[in-house]
Structures are given as C-alpha cells and as structure tokens.
Amino acid sequence: MDLMDHDYTLNELPPVIQVNQVTDSKKSIKEWCFVPMCRNTARNSSKYFCRVPSDKKSRMAWFKIARRDNKVSEKTHLFACEDHFDIENDFENLIAVRMGYKKYLELKPNILPKNFDCQVKRPVAHTSSKVRSLIKKRKHKELLDAALDESEIAQITELTEESGVDLLEEVEESGVDLLEEVEESGVDVLEGNLPELLGSYRLETEVSTPNTESKCTQTKIKSKNKKSQCDIKKKLKNKSTNTDVPSHIPKKSVYSMVYSSLSESSESSSDEDFNCDPDLNISEVSYPSDTELDDIRSRENMMKKIKEKPLTFLGLPPESMFVCEKLSNTLKIDLIFVFICLVKIRLDLSFDILSSLFAYSSSHLARIYNNNIRGIGTLLNSLVYWPDSELVRIHLPLPFRLRYKTVYCIIDCLEIEIQKSSDPQFQAATWSEYKKCNTAKYLISCTPQGLINFVSIGYGGRITDNKIIQESGFLNHLQSGMSVMADRGFKNVDALFLEKGCSLVRPPSVYVNIKPTKEEVKETKNIASLRIIIENVIGRIRHFKLLAPHACVPVKNFDQLDYAVQSACGLINLQNPVRQNNY
C-alpha cells in the first residue's frame, strides 16, 4: 500500500525519522580528545584518534595518567588524539590509517598516553604550594644540628618530656622556614653566621600588662599535624634589638612561639574559657560555596513565586496545588522537577531562560523534562475520564434541556503546528489544508458542563474527521441513546454513530447556490450557541503556550507532544468550570 494513502499517528512518525538520525550518527561518531585541556576534535583539526580502552582497569589507568575524573559511563565512546603518543612507535596500523584503509589508530600492547603539553600547569598540579626536596630538608637539618649545642638540645628534650609535644620537630620545621627567609635576604649561612642569626631570631613572648595574670593555655596538643593548630607568623629581628627575654629560655629556642602565641590568645580572650578540640578536622567539614547558596536561594524564590501564582505558571488553581505533591510522591522526584515540566508546558520558555529562573544548566533542565514528562502526562491523563451518563443528565445546563436533552458530549478537533519533516512523504502525511501548514491533530470531547472526557492521541494533520473518529477509539465509549454535538465540518460520519445506536447533532449542511431556510438558519445559530463550550475548552488548551496554534513543535519532540496535551487537559479539569452556571 502506498504511504500516501495511510494516515499516521505521531507515535508512528518519529521512529522513522529517529532511526535515520541514529543511523547517521553511527556512521559519523564525533571524535574529541578525552584529555582535559586538549581541544583537538575531528572537526577543528586533522589529527588521528585512537579509542580509549573500554575495560574498567585499563580505562582507570588512562584516566589517572591523563588526570581526568572517572565519572564517565563504561559504554561511552572516548578517544585520544595523536598528540599524546609517539605516533611513529606507539601504533601498529599507522600506515593503514594514513592511506585511508582504517579510521582509528590501534595501539601496541601496554602503551599509555605520555605527552601532555596541552596541560600547561601539569608539573605543579596536585602538589603543595611549597615544594621541598628531601635533599634540601636534610641539608637544613644538618645546619641546624651544627648550630645547636648539646646543652640546648638537652633543655629542649626536658621540655619535650614535660609538655608531650615533639619540640625537636617544631624546631626543625621552624628552622627550615627561618633558613628560607635568610637565604632570600642574601646572607651566607655557610660562613659561620648561622648561630648569630639564630640568636637574633626572636619572638615577643610576653605582653606587659600590669597586675594581670595569664591563664592556663595548654590544650592537650597530641600532634603537631593536628588541624587545630594555626600557623604563627615569625618575626626576624636584628640582634641589636633589646628584648626582655627570660634568661632560662635558650636564645635559639624557636619553639617558644607555641607557648607565647597561646598565652597571648588567652589574655585577649578576657575571662572567657576557650576549649580547643584537638581531634577536630576542619578540612572534613564541607560548606556550600557562595554560588551554590545563590542557586539554592534562586530556586526557593522561584518556587515561592509559583506557589503564589500557580494558575499563571502551572495552569493550576491554588486549591489544587496538592496535585503537584501527589505527582512528586508517586514519581519519586523532587517537587521542583514537577514545577519545571509544568512551567515548560504552560509558558513554553526555552531551557536557557528556565536555566536563569531555576538555577540549573539548560542541558540538565532538558533531561529533567524529557525524563519526567511521560510520567506526569500519564498521571494527569487519569483526570480525563468518562463520567456516568446519569450524572451528566442531572447536571445538564438549561439551554440543552429544551431541545438537546440527550446530548452527552461535544466534539471538535485541535490542531498544533509542528516542524516540517525533511521526508516528503511525512510532509504530506502531516499537511493540513485547513491550517495550511504541517500539524498534529487531536480529537477533543467535553460534556455540556465543560469537563474534558476524551482526548485522542496525535495524528498527522492530513487525517480526515471520519478517520480520526474511527481510529481514536471514541466510539467505544458511547452508549445507546446518546447524542453527540459536532461542528458542520464532521460530514459523512452519521453512519458511524447510527451503528452504535447514537445520533449526531450538527448544523445543517450548506450547499452552493442553495439558500438555507429560516428554520435551518435558526437551528444553526442554536447549535453554535451551545457548541461554544468546546471552543472555550480548546481556548483554555491554547493558553498552554506549548500547545499554541503556531507552536511549531520540533520533530524530535513529537513523541512528547501527546503527554503535553494530556497534561494540559488534566490540569484544565482542575480549573474552574468553563460554564459557571447552568443558565
């Protein structure tokens, strides 16, 4: 059968287009180098690429040497460019690749990337700010040992045993810092000047406060590497400076800075006790950055605005906001994700604009919408139901009761413009002569009170009214004796309703060169005044900008359009009735 003679639903259209796109993507995989800071791709350079191993052990080794995080799926195809290898010696099929017989280079066994010129700061990466070689430390230690005599070492040892602090290590470490400062000043420490320099290295250990006693300041320091210790700035003074230092403290005792600093801090704290926990590791405490705090505040402010005006942002009245929480709990997603999906349907803002409102990246917002719109649409579609015929008859508005008391529902078609496909056959399948563009077509039905009781799946705009009534399953809901009101455009469908024992109420047909009678004109006006209910319902659907007449839905979003229409119809049923009273 010819493709032009068949009417397609939107669920049938996308797979054909998507398969072609996937096939093309498999033929031309986008190669880009996985090494951080390397900008080589297949588009911007003529480099050759090799595949990163897919097995976990080898891939982890590659990630480690390239200094890349391993938060990548094992199924992801990664490539490395030739700049990170010895291209003449590391590859087996270099000639075949250059001649065009092979696309990707194949590495010899046990070869890892070795050249990382693109990483400018690589030599200093992952290292501390002060680089001290082992040789330099040993040299400084020898100089210190030569400068300190045996008596001073004995005094330091006694203080070490009393306080429990390894002061020798403190002296060594502080002395290293001192020597660095001396070397920067240009003094030759190898000409016998080191003892004098150490003697001139003083710290103000006492604060002259009259009639003030110093508190106990020992804080049970167990190790010099505890995070609770603070760096204390040392001052290099000239040896001619007159400082009142007690005689029992060695003139080269750099470790006194520990006690003096604690004494000063205790005096400045007045009468308050300061308890220091030496086991506290401040580096383990993580606090959100300023940017993260700003993002959190932005989301909270946006959610607050949505809750203040839910009808504007979501199409949901304030008294029905509990539905969003039900969706969040049922789908097990955050409430803000539900808001994002409904705001997208209601306002049809681009993901770049939504990114500034919700403080998420545009790609993350797109994933949120694509992953959750199906679940949200399916759950909200449960609000579109077929009510009991007896309830409809009891609440039938007065204008219907006089002549059309058997009318159960009113039907009409909703068309939404979609992007024109590149396939001419599908262009013809979605072309609408009524809208003069490519559209998706839906059959909508509502009760005389304005409750949406049926919405079909999407079809190509080329489908006729007769076909959409047959294929949508609308006739399966009808019961014998019901009447359905429709527009004049639903021609040649009376036989379908008669088979179900139902009737179709529509304005009289208009013929060329035949003047309608007064009765026909009056009946046309009466039916049009009652059919306005379905027009108002479709008008409410149009308030959702994603479903506007000229929304021009992209081809890749065809499969999501059905769920967006179902979501909108479910939300409309939660709004105030279209007909405010029965008069």
Record the tokens describing residue 189, joined without a space: 């420490």
pLDDT band of residue 582 (cuts 50, 70, 90) is low
pLDDT exceeds cutoff 90 at 323: yes
Is pLDDT of 271 > 60? no
CA nearest to 486, candidates 524, 449, 518, 515: 524
Give the model confidence (pLDDT) of 388-416 as tens digits.
Answer: 989 999 888 888 888 888 899 999 999 99
pTM score of the predicted model: 0.54
Helix, strand or coil, per DSSP, at residue 243: coil
Give the DSSP letter string of 167-233.
HHHHHHHHHHHHHHHHHHHT--TTTTTHHHHHHT---------TT-PPPP-------TT-TT-----
pLDDT of residue 307: 93
pLDDT reading at 279 higher than 60? no
Longest dimension (CA), the chain: 129
Q: What average pLDDT does the segment 513-541 reach?
A: 89
pLDDT band at residue 236, thresholds of 50, 70 and 90? very low
Q: What are phi and psi of 273, to 5 degrees?
A: -85, 135
Give mean pLDDT, residues 151-173. 56
Chain position carrying tokens 């020597």: 179
Considering only 87-91, 234-238, 555-559, 576-580, which range has the smallest mean pLDDT? 234-238
Q: Which pLDDT score is estimated for 246?
A: 45
Please give the Cα distance from 52 to 81 (Å, whole number).
Answer: 10
Please return the burial class of 40, using the count of CB atoms within 10 Å of its CB with bins 0-12, 13-18 and 19+.
buried
Q: Which residues, other chains included, contact 426 with Cβ-Cβ below 8 Å and sequence gap of 6+?
A: 8, 13, 16, 17, 460
Distance of CA 245 to the CA centre of its chain: 62
Query: Rounded to whole angstroms, what are the CA distances from 91 to 58, 82, 107?
Result: 17, 10, 5
- pLDDT of 466 reads 87
Lowest mean per-residue pLDDT among 56-70, 276-290, 460-474, 548-562: 276-290
- Length of the chain counted residue by residue: 583
For the chain, list the domains and their CATH numbers: 31-124 (no CATH), 134-282 (no CATH), 290-382 (no CATH), 385-558 (3.30.420)
In 3D space, the residue among 307, 316, 313 whose CA is nearest the CA of residue 572 turns out to be 316
What percent of the chain is predicted at pLDDT more than 70? 68
d(CA 438, CA 542): 17
Give tens-digit pLDDT for 434-445: 889 999 999 999
Q: How confident is the model at residue 288 (pLDDT cuts 50, 70, 90)?
A: low
More confident residue, 280 or 453: 453
Q: Given a cut of 60, is residue 200 above it in pLDDT?
A: no
Q: Please compute the mean of the pLDDT values over residues 5-11 and round it to a whole number.
A: 57
User: Is 282 a residue whose pLDDT tops 90?
Assistant: no
- Model confidence pLDDT, tens digit, residues 298-322: 899 999 999 999 999 999 999 999 9
* Res. 209 pLDDT band, cuts 50 70 90: very low
Least confident piece of the model among 139-143, 174-178, 229-233, 354-358: 229-233
Confidence of residue 121 (pLDDT cuts 50, 70, 90): confident
User: Do 474 and 496 form a contact (C-beta atoms < 8 A)?
Assistant: no
More confident residue, 376 or 56: 376
Tell which residue, 444, 540, 543, 437, has the closest CA to residue 487: 444
Q: What are the tens digits of pLDDT across the range 21-49? A: 333 444 456 788 989 889 888 888 788 88
In the predicted structure, residue 141 carries a pLDDT above the cut 90? no
Phi then psi for residue 459, to 5 deg, are: -125, 160
- Strand partners for 414: 442
User: Could you tell me the end-to-end alpha-carbon distance of the chain, in angstroms, rounded to an integer?
Assistant: 52
Q: Look at 245-249, 330-334, 406-410, 556-560 and tell me which has the smallest mean pLDDT.
A: 245-249
Position 161 scores a pLDDT of 59
pLDDT at site 291: 80
Q: Which residues contact 314 (CB under 8 A, 6 or more apart)?
A: 306, 324, 339, 342, 343, 346, 571
Q: Do residues 498 and 544 lie in contact, with contact meaning Cβ atoms separated by under 8 Å?
A: no
Question: What is the model's pLDDT at position 70?
Answer: 78
How far is it, in rounded angstroms, from Cα 537 to Cα 112? 65
Confidence label for 556 from pLDDT (cuts 50, 70 and 90): confident
Predicted confidence at residue 581, as pLDDT, reads 58
Instruction: Output the pLDDT for position 240.
Output: 43
Q: Over 80: is that where the pLDDT of 515 sits?
A: yes
Checking if the pLDDT of 349 tops 50, the result is yes
Please state, rounded to an integer, the average pLDDT across all residues of the chain.
76
CB atoms within 10 A of CB 373: 24
Minimum mean pLDDT among 151-155, 290-294, 338-342: which range?
A: 151-155
